[in-house]
Copies of this chain bind each other. A is one copy, B any other.
Amino acid sequence: MANQTITAPAGFLAAGVHAGIKASGAPDIGILVCPKGARAAGVFTTNRITAAPVQISRRHIRSRKVFAVVVNSGNANACTGNKGLKDAIAMCRMVAGLFGDGKVRPEQVLVASTGIIGHRLPMDKVRKGIEAAWKGLSPSADGGLAFARAIMTTDTKVKQAMRIVRLAGKNVTIAGAVKGAGMIGPQMATTLCFLATDAAISSNLLAKALKAAIDQTLNRLTVDGLQSTNDTAFILASGLAMARPITRPDRAYQRFCDALFEVCQDLVMQMGLDAEGATRMFKVVVCGAATKAEARRAARAVADYPLVKCAVHGGDPNWGRIICAVGSSGVRLDPTRLSCRLDQIYVFRNGRPCRFDRKAASAIIQRPFHTITVLLGVGKQSEFCYGVDLSKDYVRINAEYHT
């Protein structure tokens, strides 16, 4: 089978190793390298408390060329003060040094971390891990898979996606890896997400394309409502597919954006279905709103409401809780036109409950994915977001996790 990992685009090598940050023995250091250098773009958490690697990568992303991304899991390097900043810089410096001959500056390396908050990184282990990962760098699917494994935390599955798009007679590849699985809320680049492409594209357009794709995908998923201190998404573009460079918002740029959206969409579905304790995922679409912001607020209120999440878990077409969440969100609505649909089945229409086939509705909810549509009846704006069910396992995972 063709390489479908983050090393699928031309010009990338990756590796992942166990450095000893995690007690479990699972991989915890990953490196992605683009030896020829890549254009890069990033989006970061909007949490007011940002982890050290977020602060450092925000500076480094301004570099004209980026040569590598270094990531660790098992420790977020957040709330670690100046020492944490020094550790994040040291990780970049180590990787830059491994290129030799002063070829790469530390500012040309991006860094990301995920895991427990408030503990210093064990830098001796990190150093050895980076050295081991460096030796294992490979352009093969094995290298990409090892990288994707190294960024996992409570994820039960590796999350990767890949698309090929034809641009001006050349195949351009976009691939990505992402981690879940908790502390996930929209309005930021949810979680850690790494994307690579061999498209040649200007930095400005790359940043714009990344922002647009993340906004429609990862930023729409809410697992527990709040963004973490470490959320980051990077994209690196090597240009090595040898397609004509994208320098204007033309048709080729649009096709690139579409493919990037598909990769991110694939990743967000994997994240939702593997969210902590989740057994299924749902989309909330709010139509007929007075403003986009109100549509989004109402959709978030439904997706974040524990009683809706429990009802989805129980396969119960409990539209009362959906209506309650929408009303409680404070958005403008017409109570005589307010309606709600589960996929195609109306359960509430024009302010009144409908007769509907409860077994059919319950069967829809019990699918891995269904759509809750709410019509507010006061305007023309619509928005959506993704949610997941709330299970006893979510509680088990997060009550038994000890700091």
- Bound complex: CA A325 to CA B95 (Å): 33
A125 to B: closest C-beta gap in Å: 19
A54 to chain B, nearest CB (A): 11
A116 touches which one: B306, B320, B394 (CB < 8 A)?
B320
- Are B183 and A403 interface neighbours, CB within 8 A? no
Asked whether A226 is an interface residue with its Cβ less than 8 Å from the other chain, the reply is yes
A379 CB within 8 Å of chain B: no
Given contacts A353-B79, A399-B313, A324 and B226 within 8 Å (CB-CB): yes
Taken together as a complex, chains A and B put the C-alpha atoms of A307 and B333 apart, in Å, by 32
Is A338 among interface residues, defined by CB-CB distance under 8 A?
Answer: yes
CA distance A323 to B321 in the complex (A): 30
Contacts of A48 in B (CB 8 A): 326-333, 335
Q: Give the A interface residue count (CB, 8 A).
A: 67
Query: Is the Cβ of B320 less than 8 Å from the Cβ of A46?
Result: no
Return chain B residues, CB-CB under 8 Å to A345. none
Identical copies of this chain, number: 2
Which of B76, B225, B395 interacts with A390 by CB under 8 Å? B395
A:275-321 near B, CB below 8 Å:
301, 304-307, 310-311, 313-314, 316-321
Q: Which residue of B lies closest to A230 (CB)?
A: B324
* Closest B residue to A301 using CB positions: B226
CB A153 to nearest CB in B, in angstroms, measures: 13
Contact A328 B398 (CB under 8 A): no
Asked if A251 lies at the interface with its beta carbon under 8 angstroms from chain B, I say no
Point out the residues of chain B lying under 8 angstroms from A229, CB to CB: 323-324, 327
Question: Are A305 and B225 neighbours in the complex by a CB distance under 8 Å?
Answer: yes
Which residue of chain B has its CB nearest to the CB of A223?
A: B306
Residues of B within 8 Å of A119, CB to CB, are: 353
Within 8 A of B (CB), among A65-118: 76, 78-81, 116-118
Point out residues on A near B: beta carbons under 8 Å.
46-50, 76, 78-81, 116-119, 182-183, 185, 224-229, 301, 304-307, 310-311, 313-314, 316-321, 323-333, 335, 338, 348, 351-353, 390-392, 394-396, 398-403
Given A314-B402, A319-B403, 19 other A-B contacts at CB below 8 A? A48-B330, A48-B332, A49-B323, A79-B320, A79-B351, A79-B353, A117-B320, A118-B323, A183-B307, A183-B321, A224-B307, A225-B304, A226-B301, A306-B398, A310-B398, A310-B399, A314-B399, A320-B403, A390-B395
Could you give 24 example pairs across A and B, Cβ below 8 Å? Answer: A47-B324, A47-B328, A48-B328, A48-B330, A48-B333, A49-B323, A79-B323, A79-B348, A116-B320, A117-B321, A117-B323, A118-B319, A118-B348, A185-B328, A224-B307, A225-B305, A228-B324, A229-B327, A310-B399, A318-B401, A318-B402, A391-B399, A394-B395, A395-B395
